[in-house]
Amino acid sequence: MGNILNEVLLANRDYVANFDKGDLPMPPGRHFAILTCMDARLDPAKYAGLSEGDAHVIRNAGGRASDDAIRSLVISYKLLGTREWFVVHHTDCGMETFNDEIMRGLLSSSLKTASVDADGWHDCCEGPSSAEGKYIDWLTIKDQAQSVLEDVMRIKSHPLVPSDIPVYGYIYDVKSGRLIEVPEASAAGAI
C-alpha cells in the first residue's frame, strides 16, 4: 500500500470512529453554493465558516464557470434548493501561469508532469503524448478580477439559471485568508 493511500485510510478510520453526521439531509442547510478553485491552499469550510451539510462546494482548476460547474450549480438549485451562489477565485493561482497554447504544447510533447522555472514551463522527460489537448478550452486566467466578472456574467446569463439567484464575486487572498469582493462582479450578479 502506498504511503499516501495508507495515510488517507488511517485518517478515514479515525473519522469513522467519531462520525456523527449520518442524519444530515441531502439539501445544504444554509442554501448556498460556492464555485472555487481546486488549489490545496483554499479551504472553503474555513474561509466561509462551513460545517458538513451547510453548502455545496464545487471545485475545479481556477474556480471557472465551465459547463460542468454550471451543471452542478443548476442541480444545486433545481433539485437541492440553493438560493445564492459565490464565485471565488484566488491570488497566486496556477491558472495564471500558462495559456492554452502552452498547455497544448506540453501535452503534445509528453504526458509526464511538467516543471516551471523563470523561463516558463518545460517537460521533464520524454513519454507518451497526445494532441487531444487542442480540443480543450483550458479556461486560463490573465486577470483575476476580470475572470471573476466573466464567470459571474456567464452564470447569470445562462438560460438554465433563474434570474432571482444572486451570484457574488470574490477573490481569496492566499497570503491573508481574506475574501475580497469584486464589486463589478457582484453588481453583475445581483438580482
Q: What is the pLDDT of residue 74?
A: 98
* Amino acid letter for position 30: R
The predicted structure's pLDDT at residue 2: 75
pLDDT value at position 1? 58
Query: What is the pLDDT tens value at each position of the chain, 191 positions in all?
Result: 579 999 999 999 999 999 999 999 999 999 999 999 999 999 999 999 999 999 999 999 999 999 999 999 999 999 999 999 999 999 999 999 999 999 999 999 999 999 999 999 999 888 899 999 999 999 999 999 999 999 999 999 999 999 999 999 999 999 999 999 999 999 999 99
Residue 175 has what DSSP assignment? T
pLDDT of the residue at 86? 98
In terms of C-beta density within 10 A (0-12 exposed, 13-18 middle, 19 or more buried), how is residue 179 classed?
A: middle
What is the pLDDT, as a whole number, of residue 151?
Answer: 98
Domains of the chain, first to last: 26-96+139-191 (3.40.1050.10), 99-137 (no CATH)
Q: Which of 171, 143, 169, 142 is nearest to 156 (CA)?
A: 169
Report DSSP letters for 50-110, one per residue. --TTSEEEEEEGGG---HHHHHHHHHHHHTT---EEEEEEETT-GGGS--HHHHHHHHHH-
Q: Are 170 and 181 in contact (CB under 8 A)?
A: yes
Q: How many CB atoms lie within 10 A of CB 100?
A: 14
Residue 126: predicted pLDDT: 83
Helix/strand/coil for 159: coil
Joined together, the cell numbers standing for residue 37 give 478553485
CB 181 within 8 A of CB 166: no
